[in-house]
Amino acid sequence: MEITSLDNPLVKHFVKLRTQRSYREENNSLLVTSKKLVEELRCHSTPKRILDEASEAVFKKITGQPSPEGIAAEFSMPPPSSLMGLDYVLVLDRVMDPGNMGMLLRSALALGFEGVLFLEGCCDPFNEKALSAARGALFHLPYRFGTLEDIDAPLLVADLEGEPPSFQKRCALVLGNEAQGSDISAAKVTIPHKGAMESLNVAAAGSILMYNLRYER
């Protein structure tokens, strides 16, 4: 039966999953409102709830979008994992922009990094914007919220004053805050560049560094 009431309990539940990190964590759930991503996730994860019969007004409220795709699905969050022993780890240090976060997670999965460590101060990788930009990468990529003690790969920190990157047999690449970078003490790497641009944004720079550290010989 089609849901038309904006006060329906399921509608309120989905809105809170989309907008509140604490509610997502309390319910161990996240909300997906893209048909393509829902289908991709259903290949290996069964949704807790799925809504595809509701009025346009209801979908607009659930998704916060002016032109919703007409679907809303609740999935269990993928569980965190140990990152010990991994050869290639991405470490995010206070990365705050969800678009940057999502693109970095997508690149990490595509470029063969084996896990992601989120240090304190990062935005929620399961919020709607990060989840959409990541294309569900954390359903395939081991992750952990923690500290540097949770990894044992040698650290490299992205910094404008660093050395050009080169292939590493093992490394944990630290990418810092968009405005302030990272104050973690470790060997520094940077991308040599020409022209008037002072620097690349963290998603672009991080993707290039991951490729060079993982593959460029």
Q: At 196, which CATH number? A: 3.40.1280.10
Quickly count helices (H) and strands (E) in the chain: 7, 9
1 domain-assigned: no
Tallying the residues shown for the chain, one arrives at: 217
Domain membership of residue 186 as a residue range: 88-214
Report phi then psi at 155, rounded to 5.
Answer: -85, 140
172 domain-assigned: yes
* Whether residue 109 sits in one domain with residue 197: yes
CA dist 100 and 79 (Å) reads: 22
- Write the CATH number for 45: 3.30.1330.30
pLDDT digits (tens, 9 = 90+) for 80-89: 999 999 999 9
Last residue of a domain, one of 22, 51, 76: 76
* Whether residue 107 sits in one domain with residue 35: no
Instruction: Confirm if 41 and 29 have CB atoms less than 8 A apart.
Output: no
Provide the sign of the torsion angle of the four alpha carbons 7, 38, 96, 59, taken in this order. negative
* Whether residue 95 sits in one domain with residue 67: no
* Whether residue 150 sits in one domain with residue 63: no
* Whether residue 68 sits in one domain with residue 92: no
Report the pLDDT value the prediction gives residue 190, as an integer from 0 to 100: 93
Number of domains into which the chain is organized:
2
Bridge partners of residue 173, in order along the sequence? 90, 156
132 domain-assigned: yes
* Segments in the chain below pLDDT 70: 194-199, 217
* Whether residue 126 sits in one domain with residue 186: yes
Q: Which amino acid is at 214?
A: R
31 domain-assigned: yes
Provide the sign of the torsion angle of the four alpha carbons 4, 73, 97, 28, taken in this order. positive
pLDDT digits (tens, 9 = 90+) for 9-20: 999 999 999 999
166 domain-assigned: yes
User: What is the pTM assigned to this prediction?
Assistant: 0.92
CA dist 216 and 187 (Å) reads: 18
Report the pLDDT value the prediction gives residue 1, as an integer from 0 to 100: 79
54 domain-assigned: yes
83 domain-assigned: no
